[in-house]
Amino acid sequence: MAGRTGDRTTGKTGARPHGAPSGVAAALPAADTVVEADGIRITAIKQGLSLRDAPVAATVAGERTLERGAVAAVKDLSARTPNFHIPDYGSRMTSSIYVRGLGARIDQPVMGMNVDNVPLLNKNNYDFDLADVERIEILRGPQSTLYGRNTMGGVVNVYTRSPLAAQGTRLGVEYGSGNTLRLRASTHHALREGHGLGAALWYGRSDGFFTNEATGRRCDREESGGARIKYQYRGERGLRIENTASVSLLAQGGYPYASALTGSIAYDDPCSYDRLFVSDGLTVRYDGAACSVASVTSYQYTHDDMRLDQDFLPLPYFTLRQDTRQHAVTQEVVVRSRAAEGDGYGWLCGLFGFYSRSEMQAPVLFKERGIEELILRNANAHDPEYVFSWLEPTLALDSRFRTPDAGLALYHESNYRTGRWHFTLGVRLDCEHVRLHYDSRTASRYRAVRRSDGMTLDLPLEATLRGTLRQSFAQVLPKAAVRFELGRGSDLYASVSKGYKAGGYNTQMFSDILQRELMERMGAP
């Protein structure tokens, strides 16, 4: 039940033009290249150089591009970003990202996401409302040396508006089909020299577009909202402090899945997804004469509640409810030389650690039709002596999981520039330990009637799966790149790096194991 996706080593060469059109979302080219919109020069903790000067395939969308393109979520950039696709599976819980053919629908992602330098550890939070966002970077190809686990396809960096860069109050109202409404309000102020404070509020709703014919109501309704407060300090002696705290709520219907047989959307049990996400990220950075030191600390809390009619039919087969609560903390320290952005030699070193703890309840409820078709029919077909029937109206397969997860990583990157040549070498040691405490059980009653004489037996039926699984992972993640400036705003680069997707456990299989054990106890093969 444990596994890890195989490591992937990729190489990339390319020529990149400088001077892409600014502020026009539709002008993003269809090549896997570097694009900077709105004339942005990127200066982040790990990317001291402009992305245009780095050997990486990337797209950067600035504020004007996001506003003109009506980009309300990261998935809206799919049509504007080469080799980048986020499908809509009918629920924001399934936030899968596919890059260059790589992707994962469940469990660990292949694409990482950071908001204001804070990594989101739960991919269920990837699909969120964008409000007061300054820019979005999409880096394609393995980014594991600097960003670690689950970035074998790349990484998305989201940066919210800085209250020190722009002040004032902004209001936004949008209305569209499906009775869709979006409201946004934000205000940013420089309190006094070096201090800035910003706040943002957002709310959205939609009646949906798809009708569930079994109930006569729209099944993809949605309502969401949230708030964010951002404080920044820029001192004259090189000290910088930034703290971003946010909370978001989501209540969503789903899933608008049509039957392959009838072509219509019709199911009888409720489907929904509710999410509460709270996060706080603190960044402290000091720029000294020889090097800069940055510390990024975060806390994240996620509460997911999903209800699913798993048969998607207007028949009483079976349903699933998955309720998950996760607490997570991260800590990263980055030290880099001040010479990294100039000629000669520059370096960067970092230490990253995280701990997360998830608790999940995932009961599967078999109803009358499901018991008859999926359990009794198979048991009766293979038992020549008895005919079975169920004595309870439903059968509950209850599963509870606790998943503590911890990781530690140490990484280094060196850059050397001589003339038109730029060389990069990096390596990361990434270690992770995963545990799964599982407790799956069921209890019910069934009747067995002997075919020969009609003797009737009312029997209890119980099954329990309980235990702990442990697994450790360790990976060495190297990187090598070379870039040559051709002149006139063009260059050539080649990059080779190793990606890594963290291992884990498939919790969805426990209900299947429990169901199979029940059938075996009834005599089914």
If DSSP codes are grouped into helix, strand and coil, which group holds residue 65? Answer: helix
Q: How far is CA 405 from CA 117, 262, 408, in A?
A: 21, 44, 11
Number of Cβ atoms within 10 Å of the Cβ of 132:
24
Q: Report whether 116 contacts 160 (CB < 8 A).
A: yes
Q: Report whether 362 contacts 507 (CB < 8 A).
A: yes
Number of Cβ atoms within 10 Å of the Cβ of 299:
15
Q: Report whether 380 contacts 387 (CB < 8 A).
A: yes
Which CATH code fits 9-521?
A: 2.40.170.20
Q: Report whether 38 contacts 22 (CB < 8 A).
A: yes
The region, left, alpha or beta by phi > 0 then psi within -120 to 50, assigned to residue 141 is left
pLDDT in tens, the chain (525 residues): 333 333 333 334 344 433 333 333 333 333 344 444 444 334 467 765 456 667 778 888 888 888 888 888 888 888 788 888 888 877 888 778 888 877 777 778 888 999 999 999 988 899 888 888 989 999 888 888 999 888 888 899 999 999 998 889 999 999 989 899 999 999 999 988 889 999 999 999 999 999 999 999 999 999 999 999 999 999 888 899 999 999 999 999 988 888 887 889 999 999 999 999 999 999 999 988 888 999 999 999 999 999 999 888 899 999 999 999 999 999 999 999 876 455 789 899 999 999 999 999 999 999 999 999 988 888 888 888 889 999 999 999 999 999 999 999 999 999 898 888 989 999 999 999 999 999 999 999 989 999 988 899 998 988 888 999 999 999 999 999 999 988 776 788 898 998 888 877 877 777 778 777 777 777 655
Amino acid occupying residue 503 = G
Asked, as a colleague might, if the bond just before 446 is cis with ω within 30 of 0, I would say: no
Q: Report whether 252 contacts 219 (CB < 8 A).
A: no
Whole-number Å distance between alpha carbons of 333 and 330? 10
Query: Which pTM does this prediction carry?
Result: 0.86
Per-domain boundaries in the chain: 9-521
Whole-number Å distance between alpha carbons of 389 and 380? 9
If DSSP codes are grouped into helix, strand and coil, which group holds residue 126? Answer: coil
223 token code pair: 């309502």
Q: Where are the beta strands (DSSP E) in 24-167?
A: 35-36, 57-62, 84-85, 98-99, 111-115, 118-119, 133-140, 154-160
